[in-house]
Amino acid sequence: MKISLRLKFFAGVSGLIAFFVIVCWLSNNLFLERFYLTQKKYTLLESYKNINSIYKDDSENTHLELEKLESARNIQIIIFNEYEIKYISNARIRELRPRWQGRMTPHDRPQFPDNLIKSREEQIAIGRTIIENIKDDRLNASFIRLYSRLEKGDYVYISTPVAAIKESVQTTNSFFLLIGLLTLFFGTILVFFFTGKFTGPILELKDIAQRMSSLDFSRRYNGKTTDEIGELGRSINSLSEQLQKSILELKAANEKLIEDIEHKNKIDEMRKEFIASVSHELKTPISLIQGYALGLKLNVNKEEQNKNFYCDVIMEEGVKVNKLVKQLLELAQIESGAIKLDRTDFMIDQLVDDTIKKNEILFKDKEVNIELDVEEGIPVNADYDKTEQILMNYLSNALNHVDDNKKIRVTVRRLASKAIVRVYNSGEHIPKDSLDKIWASFYKVDKARTRAYGGSGLGLSIVRAIQEMHHNKYGVENVDGGVEFWFDIDAS
């Protein structure tokens, strides 16, 4: 069931008001009386500190200051020692004080409430301050009393009445509950109208956003407020204008892109046709070159030394041209889709082992140290011959570019649904601007060196074409001390 933002906001704010009303009402019931008593005790302690600072001697000024303190804090004060009362808040008793002065003994000293000195003098003597809640049954009233000893050595007794706090709490809670209910009632009404004003612009912005999702940019937000919703509305207006402009530009760019793609496809078709035609035309002369070279070796030239030299050159160039033709034919067939993949399941580690064994003589001739770091037991699904061809091209490339460290390493790892094959050779890094270009047909980083080992610049193009047929990835990276080529293959 869909609940609107307005209803959620209304329910949330109304619930919050009700929550605070209930919490305050419960807090008054549970804690107001305790808080009142705590405050009374705190008042007595503060009064005790004030008396200590006020009571210096038994003069009339001191008595006046004590009376002011009694009046201000609604307390009663008695100051005495074991033989006389030095101050008492009741004026009538204070008038009797001269009768006792100088002639009190422990037997005829006044008896204070609850035998004050006898029952508490040991605790007071060690510096304790005693605060007690006392109920006077005769007066049907409650008091809080403080007993302690002043810095001058005299005892002090402070008493303050406790109001009928329970009755006050009930009255306060009844009044608070009434105010809370009225607040809840009028608050919910105000919240209802406020949420309508708050959610109205949001609903308008929602409608504009939905129109934008349907590529309709004609609607604009017309709110004039300067708050966050107004800023959001102006931002959406700006976004709508930018999107409308961008989509128009994108349509124009898309039309241009379609034209470019068509042009590129035409160029690709022309290139494929050219490669196929050139390859076809070169097959016959290459065969003738090989045939005449063989004839020259059979004593066509009278001078043996010249004859052998020319024959070797013709044979060598013939082999290179023949190899180039085969590669061109193969690349053209792969890119045109004439060759279909023959996918099978096989173990990639077995393919790596077989390929290394086939090239073992080449590694020994160049004294290359081949390292294998192959994770065993990874089944893959691909065209076995084409995958072997990729690895052969990588190994051949590594052999042709390895430096004096003569180190080649083949690594195979499984990563999720792919097996990653990496071929590393120690040697110079490929220039950064050539890392993406080396996969293009006939591209050579170092043409002179490529010519020296008979490279045609088509090996990596064939790798690219085979991987694109498999819908897999390939790449090259400059790593520490050399170059590493890689390709992935579907793990079955």
Question: DSSP readout, 424-487?
Answer: EEESPPPPGGGTTGGGSTT--SSHHHHHHHT--S-HHHHHHHHHHHHT--EEEEEETTEEEEEE
Q: Are residues 26 and 169 in the same domain?
A: yes
The total number of structural domains that make up the chain = 4
- Distance (Å, rounded) from C-alpha 79 to C-alpha 208? 83
- Based on the number of CB atoms within 10 Å of its own CB, is 481 exposed (0-12), middle (13-18) or buried (19 or more)? middle
- Return the pLDDT at 4: 64
Q: Is residue 68 domain-resident?
A: no
Same domain as 8, residue 135: no
For residue 423, give the CATH number of its domain. 3.30.565.10
Boundaries of domain holding 49: 1-54+164-216
Instruction: Identify whether 65 is part of a domain.
Output: no
226 and 212 inside one domain: no
Q: How many C-beta atoms lie closer than 10 Å to residue 75's C-beta? A: 23
Same domain, 426 and 377: yes
| Helix 228-295 and helix 304-336, axial crossing angle in degrees, nearest 10 | 150
Instruction: Classify each residue of 156-188 as buried b or exposed e, where b means 16 or more C-beta atoms within 10 Å of its C-beta.
Output: bbbbbebeebeeebeeebeebeeebeeebeebb
pLDDT lower than 70: segments of the chain:
1-6, 9, 90-127, 163-169, 198-199, 270, 273-285, 287-288, 290-317, 320, 324, 327-328, 442, 444-457
Percentage of the chain beyond pLDDT 70 is 75
CATH code: domain of residue 111: 3.30.450.20
- pLDDT at position 188 is 77
Last residue of a domain, one of 146, 181, 216: 216
**386/331 same-domain check:** no
Output the pLDDT for position 399.
Answer: 92
Nearest to 201 by CA among 7, 6, 10, 12: 6
Tokens of 147: 């007993």
φ, ψ for residue 442, nearest 5 deg: 70, 5
Same domain for 32 and 169: yes
| 330 lies in the same domain as 250 | yes
For residue 178, what pLDDT is reported? Answer: 83
- What pLDDT is attached to residue 296? 65
CB within 8 Å of 179: residues ≥ 6 apart: none
Q: How many CA atoms lie within 13 A of 275 on its CB side?
A: 21
Residue 423, Cβ density class (10 Å: 0-12 exposed, 13-18 middle, ≥19 buried): buried
Query: Of the candidates 339, 372, 398, which is a domain's last residue?
Result: 339
The C-alpha atoms of residue 215 and residue 392 are separated, in whole angstroms, by 53
36 and 169 within one domain: yes
Residue 358's nearest CA partner among 346, 370, 347 is: 370
In a domain, 66, yes or no: no
Q: Which of 321, 339, 357 is the last residue of a domain?
A: 339
Q: How many Å apart are CA 319 and CA 307, to the nearest integer?
A: 18
Does residue 64 lie in a domain region?
no
Residue 399 in 3-state DSSP? Answer: helix
Quote the tokens at residue 437: 């270009």
Claim to verify: residue 365 and residue 476 sit in the same structural domain: yes
> Is 63 domain-assigned?
no
Residues 405 and 330 in one domain: no
